[in-house]
Structure 1
C-alpha cells in the first residue's frame, strides 16, 4: 500500500479547524457571561443579607456598600468607624475581598482581549494561544474562589452574622462565575489537544493497487 502527502486543508481537517474556532467562540460567549456575573457581584450589595418578617426588614452587605430597608438607603462600607478594635480583622478581610474581586475584573478583561487576539490572529496564535489564555482564566477563577471562600469563612465565624443571615445573590454570582471560567479553560485545553491542527500535510493511504 502506497502513501502520499495531501494538504490538511481537505474537508475532514478543515472541519476540525472550524470546530476548534467554534470552541473558542463558544467559550468566549460563556466567558462574557462569567464576566457579567463578576461585575454584578461587585455592583450588587448582596454578599451577605439578613431578612426579617416581623417587622419586615432587610439588611445587606456588599463589597463597597451596606444597605438597610429601614432607612431605604445604602452607605459606604466599611467606613473608618467599622475598622477599629475588634472589628479591625473583619474590616481588613472584607477590604481584601474587594481588592481581589477588582483584580479578577482586570484578569478577566485581559482574558477577553486575549480571546479576541487569538480569534483574529493567524495559525500560530490559534495553535498556541490557548496556553496563556487558559492560564489567565484559571488564575481569575482562583482569585474569585479565594474571595468567595473568605466571605464564607467570615459568615461562619463572625459574631455579627447570627441566625437569620445568609449568603446572598452576589456570593452566588461569584461562585457561578469562577465555575464557568474553569469550564471555559477546560474546553480550550481539551480542544487544543484533541482537535486537528490547521494547515500542514498528512499521509493518507493510496488504495490504487496498480
Structure 2
C-alpha cells in the first residue's frame, strides 16, 4: 500500500491551537500584572525614601513628598537643578521619560496580545515575533530606568545614610523581570510548539 502526503484542508492540529492559545492567555495574565506594577511605579512617589523619627521624605519620578510640609510638590524643580545638581536633575527626568515610554510600549504589547488572540491561524503562528520584540523593548527600558536610579542612589551626595530605594523602584524591578519571563515563554512557544494544520498520510489504493 502506497502513502502520500496531502494537505489537511479544513482539518486542524487542535493540540497546537490550544497550546499556543494557552501560552498567549497565560502570559497575558502575567503581563497585565506587570503592566499594573509599571503604572504603580510611576504613580506612587517612592523611588527613594528617607525615614527617621522626625522626618520622612520620598522621591517619586515627578513628585517629592515631605513630612515637614505634609504635601507633595513637583520634582525636580528649578531650585533643585543648580550647579552640580544639574546632572542629577537631567538623569532623574530621563528616568521619568523612560518610564512613560515603557507604558507606551506595554500599551502596544496589550494591543498586540488582543490582535493575536482574536485573529486567525496566521497571527497565532507569526504574531509571537512582533509581540516578543515589543516585550523585550519594554523590559530594556524599565531595566535602564531601574539601573539609573540605583546608580544615582549609590553616587549622589543627596542620598546620605538613612536613604533607601523605595517600593516604586521595587515595582519597576519586579515588572521588568516579569516581562522578561513572558518574553522567554512566548519565544519558546513560538519556536517549539507544533503548527496548526500541516500534512497527513493517506493511503493510495490505486
Aligned with 1:103 (options 101, 104, 126):
101
Residue aligning to 1:14: 14
RMSD: 1.7
**Map of 1:27 onto structure 2:** 27
Q: Which runs of 4+ in 1 moved over 6 A?
A: none
Where does residue 60 of structure 2 map in the other structure?
Answer: 62
The residue aligned with 1:155 is 153
What stretches of structure 1 of length at least 5 have no aligned partner? none
- The answer for the alignment partner of 1:44 in structure 2 is 44
Of residues 122, 131, 136 in structure 2, which corresponds to 1:138? 136
Query: Could you tell me the TM-score, scaled by structure 2's length?
Result: 0.92
Q: Deviations over 1:64-113 (max 9, x none)?
A: 00001222110000011111111100000000000000000000000100
Whether 1:182 aligns to 2:180 is: yes
Question: In the alignment, is residue 169 of structure 1 matched against residue 188 of structure 2?
Answer: no
Q: Secondary structure at the match of 1:75?
A: strand
Gaps of 5+ in 2: none
CA distance in 1, matches of 2:201, 2:147: 52
User: Number of matched residues?
Assistant: 201
Q: What SS is found at the alignment partner of 2:72?
A: strand
Classify the secondary structure of the residue corresponding to 1:74. Answer: strand
User: Does the aligned pair in 2 maintain the 1:17–1:195 contact within 8 Å?
Assistant: no
Per-residue deviation, 1:19: 1.1
- TM-score in terms of structure 1 length: 0.91
CA drift at 1:200: 2.4
- In the TM superposition, residue 2 of structure 1 has moved relative to its aligned partner by 5.4
Q: Quote the Cα distance in structure 1 between the aligned partners of 2:144 and 2:178.
A: 15
